[in-house]
Structure 1
Amino acid sequence: MADLVEITGAGLSAAINPFGAELTHLRDGQGRELMTDADPAFWTGHAPLLFPFVGRLNGDVLRLDGAEYPMKQHGFARRSAFTLVEQDESQVRFRLEDDAGTRAVYPFAFALDAAYAIDGATLTVAITIANRGDAPMPASFGFHPAFAWPLPYGEPRADHRIVFAADEPGTLVALKDGLTASGERPSPLDGRVLHLSDAIFADDALIWDGLASRSVSYGAATGPQLEIAFPDTEKLGIWTKPGAAFVCIEPWHGIADPQGYAGDFRDKPGVFEIAPGAAWTCRMEITLR
């Protein structure tokens, strides 16, 4: 395992693993851990970066321009070694560039930058994906941070909830075997509040597509809260494994394949294209309040 790279600010500290450029620890000013314990009995991830797609591909195959490329769920970035580009006390930037291995499964020249910066009690994660090739590059991207459930402030696990910034009256995306399915899934929201329990995750992740909210707050009804802001996306996944000590709050710029999808990757739901020489950006902000 690579040595973690640490950054600090007035109200938070963070540690990032260059392997996957993955946020591994986020601690408050008293050193209390806000991220998952990564218990291998449940899930060993912390906050993987999902690229070049989000979720599963039908048959675990990326179909592009008549060719087929095998690729597992959430793409290869989370299992790739990033290069440390720059660092100071409160910020750091990592980069993943294409190589022979990536081009064998995703035939594009790219640079993926992940920048982490702490300002007071806010951690900002800024993503830049640059197309270094001479043809349009299709891609998706997602964040996948796993926060401690319960948070380390003495409130019971059962009292934790997620509160949406706006009303979300619609239904959720249905899933089957990790792929989006026909039909709709009833929303478990109580007004703007998602009361967390193992039972609501019995049928996999909760997925919203077409959110009005651009932030949610997570925590117990009393005590400190984490606000997760995602100004650039209208998709959100919330997931855990029943019994685990984490909950993932995942802003996505993409979504899993529909069941039976056999079309081109460029045409799949949630894919955007980056023009030659251009770059695409997004960010997520995590604030302790």
Structure 2
Amino acid sequence: MITLQNERLRVCLAERGAEIVSVQNADGYEFIWQADPAFWGKHCPLLFPVCGRLLHFTHVYEGKAYKMGNHGFAQRKIFAAKQLSGTQAEFTLHEDEETLSEYPFRFALTVRYTLEGNALTIETGVENTDNKPLYCNFGSHEAYAAGGNFTDWAVRFEKKEDFVLTEQNADGQLTGRRIPYKDDTDLLPLSWEMFANDSLLFDGLRSRKVWLEHKGERVLEVEFADFPHLLLWTKPGAPYIAIEPWNGLPDTADADGQLRHKLGILRLDPGERKAAPHTIKFLK
């Protein structure tokens, strides 16, 4: 476990999955969902090399089929951790025999956490260390504690939006339909009924930051300027809300299984690196 700390916050990071497991303020208030297995036994998983679910949990490369679970494998892997200072740490993952059995590419995946005041910046980067093009996506899945009456919580957007959902079927694949959700508002009051069909995947947001509010008070801010997609998710009945910046999408219902054809996929040539930060400000 790696700990970052300043006068405002104490942040605990796990080597498994390079995952945030706790963020507490000076008064001991816990911002992060504490992974109660009765609901969902994770905190803030890192998504790589895919975001969401592959059709039949399978992709094909050079005629060979590879199985891969929801959101890829990074969340379960042990990263090499380096504490750079009392307020900065970096986690690194390279391919190994297990990852190559799911994803036949060599890579260096890095996650750098920087704590400054009340802000935690997470920079995720992928470098292609192979001798062929690499195809991937990455994203974050931070889940925040939302105790008490769930309807006292809301997500406020930077700008007024005409919200449109990208529809997913019961297996988590995109159907191709875009569904109008709510018009001309910057506020989404939360309810468990919203998530009866799983996550809300918003298409075409103008906002690049959102706030989690409790009874009208801002608890935290998520800024995701370098991520084109944002999802909200919880399990009905569970006291947390996940706010998820992604740069990729689940498979479509008619996907051919080839990552290079996947909607929104990133292509990295040999030696190329792609990185994107997002920042969480803890406001209590």
User: In which range does the TM-score fall when normalised by the shorter chain?
Assistant: over 0.9
Q: What displacement does 1:120 show?
A: 0.3
- Deviation readout 1:234-276 (Å, 9 max, x if unpaired): 2011000011011000000111101131241111112111121
Alignment check: 8 A CA contact 2:39 2:235 kept: yes
Q: Distance in 2 between matches of 1:103 and 1:220?
A: 44
Alignment correspondent of 1:38: 35
Alignment correspondent of 2:180: 186
The TM-score, its normalising length taken from structure 1, stands at 0.93
- Deviation readout 1:38-82 (Å, 9 max, x if unpaired): 111110110000000000000000122322100111000001010
Deviates more, 1:244-253 or 1:28-37: 28-37
Alignment correspondent of 1:275: 269
Q: What displacement does 1:284 show?
A: 1.3
Alignment check: 8 A CA contact 1:57 1:73 kept: yes
Q: Distance in 1 between matches of 2:163 and 2:34?
A: 33
Q: What displacement does 1:88 show?
A: 1.9
The reply to whether residue 49 of structure 1 matches residue 46 of structure 2 is: yes
Query: Which of 246, 260, 266 is the equivalent residue of 1:266?
Result: 260
The reply to whether residue 164 of structure 1 matches residue 161 of structure 2 is: no
Unaligned runs of 5+ in 1: none
Q: What displacement does 1:190 show?
A: 6.5
Q: What displacement does 1:18 show?
A: 0.2
Deviates more, 1:168-177 or 1:132-141: 168-177
How does 1:105-144 map onto structure 2 within 5 Å? 105-144=102-141
AA matched with 1:99: D
How does 1:1-289 map onto structure 2 within 5 Å? 4-150=1-147, 156-176=149-169, 177-188=171-182, 191-289=185-283
Q: Distance in 1 between matches of 2:9 and 2:82?
A: 22
Alignment check: 8 A CA contact 1:98 1:111 kept: yes
Alignment check: 8 A CA contact 1:121 1:287 kept: yes
Q: Distance in 2 between matches of 1:268 and 1:50?
A: 16
Q: What displacement does 1:99 show?
A: 1.3
AA matched with 1:208: F
Q: Distance in 2 between matches of 1:85 and 1:288?
A: 24
Q: Distance in 1 between matches of 2:183 and 2:86?
A: 40
Q: What displacement does 1:137 show?
A: 0.8
AA matched with 1:109: R
Q: Distance in 1 between matches of 2:28 and 2:51?
A: 32
Alignment check: 8 A CA contact 1:173 1:208 kept: yes
Aligned length: 282
**CA distance 1:45–1:75, change in 2 (3 Å):** same
Q: Distance in 2 between matches of 1:206 and 1:91?
A: 32
Deviates more, 1:176-185 or 1:138-147: 176-185
Alignment check: 8 A CA contact 2:22 2:34 kept: no
Q: Distance in 2 between matches of 1:275 and 1:24?
A: 33
**CA distance 1:71–1:207, change in 2 (3 Å):** same
Alignment check: 8 A CA contact 2:226 2:277 kept: yes
Q: Distance in 2 between matches of 1:167 and 1:201?
A: 22
Q: Distance in 2 between matches of 1:288 and 1:267?
A: 38
Q: Distance in 2 between matches of 1:148 and 1:7?
A: 20
Q: What displacement does 1:156 show?
A: 4.4
Alignment check: 8 A CA contact 1:162 1:193 kept: yes
The TM-score, its normalising length taken from structure 2, stands at 0.95
Alignment check: 8 A CA contact 1:83 1:94 kept: yes
Q: What displacement does 1:5 show?
A: 1.3
Q: Distance in 2 between matches of 1:12 and 1:224?
A: 17
More strand by share: 2
Q: SS of the counterpart of 2:245?
A: strand
Q: SS of the counterpart of 1:231?
A: coil
Q: Distance in 2 between matches of 1:230 and 1:9?
A: 23
AA matched with 1:164: F
- Deviation readout 1:60-109 (Å, 9 max, x if unpaired): 00122322100111000001010113332111111001112111211111
Cα RMSD for the two superposed structures? 1.5
